[in-house]
Amino acid sequence: MGRPDRPGRTPEQANQTRPLILELKPLEQQIARQDIAMQHCLALQPVEGHLPNSSILCLTTHMPSILCWNLFSKLPALMRISALTAPVESARRKRHNRRRRSLGVGSVAKRFYIGVTDSRWYHYLAAQQPDEVNFWMPGASGFRALPEAGLFLFKLKHPHNAIVGGGFFVRYTRLPLMLAWEAFGQKNGVESLPQLLKILRSLRPEIHPADEIGCCILAQPFFFPRESWIPTPADWSKNIVRGKGYDSDSLEGAKLLDAVRERMPVVGDTDGLLDPTGDPERPLRIIRGRLGQGAFRSLVTDAYTRRCAISGERTLPALEAAHIKPYADSGPNRTENGLLLRSDLHRLFDAGYVTVTPERRIEVSGRIKEEFENGRDYYRFHGEKLMVEPGNPAERPDAVYLSWHNERVFRP
């Protein structure tokens, strides 16, 4: 935090009343995190022994910034200090923030996106009513317009020029065309792989089934009936080919978002996914709890950096996303319930000849040798730790699901 009396600050600014928020944490527990409410990572690290290991002390008060600085300067040098000061909201600012919240700011819909598609894609999926869709893109240039659970709307091309539905963003990834079909099938918006290839070749004449396409994976898709279509925003340019992002606190963005909210009951219960006053984390929990099989495969594939967890194999067409606890047995489509495995290891895992312990060590059943008089290629993995694990600890195999597989599926 800079000194409040630094050059360029007026006396009034220097003495403006501010809330002071302090947080004390043990050094070993301190982690850098983003907190929407506080906007900064707070960290005061007490010297070991000065506070109990589990102590967290938060002090909130109001005082002029100069007094805050004086207070900091007198704190013991035994502590490293990082603090947050934020201006007290003026009445005008409060009114502005209330208006922003009423428009969806602070919710999943703060930033949303309108993607351009054609009527064939829309009508095919509207008739199917799938649990997820792949909004594919002929190129693989990337997509960074939305956060997870962000609202993604569908706009039809000319002559319709209308918003006709949408979904909630899960992940953007690049997949070879044939794997995108294996993962999503008709949720790509067409009847068959040859039909998808034909459409893509009208856009990329030289595309091969092994070539990558961009995949915007969307959960909880919804499709408006014809009488509920929404006109394109007034500021939409005819030159837009791919899509455009909007903020819900802009005039056109607010109008469009209100129109979408009004129509949501027509297409079913959204569980408050667009509720601007609700828990901002709720949409994430909802979307993560309702992932489809295609999203599961894509997320597991990316989490393991496209390598087999047991063998390290990198040949993507030979890799499959395996459920640790099968979906048929109420296993969720969550990354922590998945392993990316070479296809033969996947079959052995599902049949109980291979498992992974809660400590993430590989066990190979003796039954392979007994029943097939073979298995040398597999026994070399026995007792080893997984060769590849997700970098994000939250995506690593959950010990609860691994225990379930050890006890219910594995045949020692």
393/286 Cα distance (integer angstroms): 21
Provide the angle, in degrees to the nearest 10, between the axes of the packed helices 177-184 and 193-203: 140
Contacts of 151 (CB under 8 A, 6+ apart): 108, 109, 112, 113, 166, 168, 169, 257, 260, 273, 274
What pLDDT is stored for residue 287 in this prediction? Answer: 86
Q: Please state the rounded mean pLDDT for residues 242-252.
A: 93
Gap between the Cα atoms of 281 and 286, Å rounded: 9
Q: Cβ contacts of residue 229 below 8 Å, gap of 6+?
A: 160, 162, 163, 164
The pair of three-digit structure tokens given for residue 53, joined into one six-digit string: 């290991």
- Average pLDDT over the chain, rounded to whole? 79
Q: How confident is the model at residue 141 (pLDDT cuts 50, 70, 90)?
A: confident
Q: Please give the pLDDT value at position 268.
A: 57
Q: Cα angle at 362 between 361 and 364, to 5 degrees?
A: 150
CA distance 188 to 198: 13
pTM: 0.71
**Which residue, among 295, 265, 344, 302, has the nearest Cα to 135 in the 3D structure?**
295
Q: How far apart are CA 168 and CA 220, in angstroms?
A: 6
pLDDT above 80 (res 333): yes
Q: What is the pLDDT of residue 206?
A: 94
pLDDT in tens, 56-103: 333 333 333 344 444 444 444 333 333 333 333 445 445 444 444 433
Q: What pLDDT is attached to residue 335?
A: 97
Instruction: State how far the Cα of 88 lies from the Cα of 120, in Å rounded to an integer.
Output: 53
Q: Are 125 and 221 in contact (CB under 8 A)?
A: yes
pLDDT of residue 290: 86
Residue 51 has pLDDT above 50, yes or no: no
pLDDT tens, position by position, 176-220: 999 999 999 999 999 999 999 999 999 999 999 999 999 999 999
Mean pLDDT of 16-32: 37
Burial of 269 (0-12, 13-18, 19+ CB in 10 A): exposed
pLDDT at 325: 98
Q: Which element (helix H / strand E) includes 223?
A: strand 212-223
CATH number of 108-275: 2.30.130.30
* Domain locations in the chain as residue ranges: 11-85, 108-275, 293-408
What is the Cα–Cα distance from 395 to 340, expressed in whole angstroms? 12
Query: What is the C-alpha separation between 189 and 130, in angstroms, rounded?
Result: 10
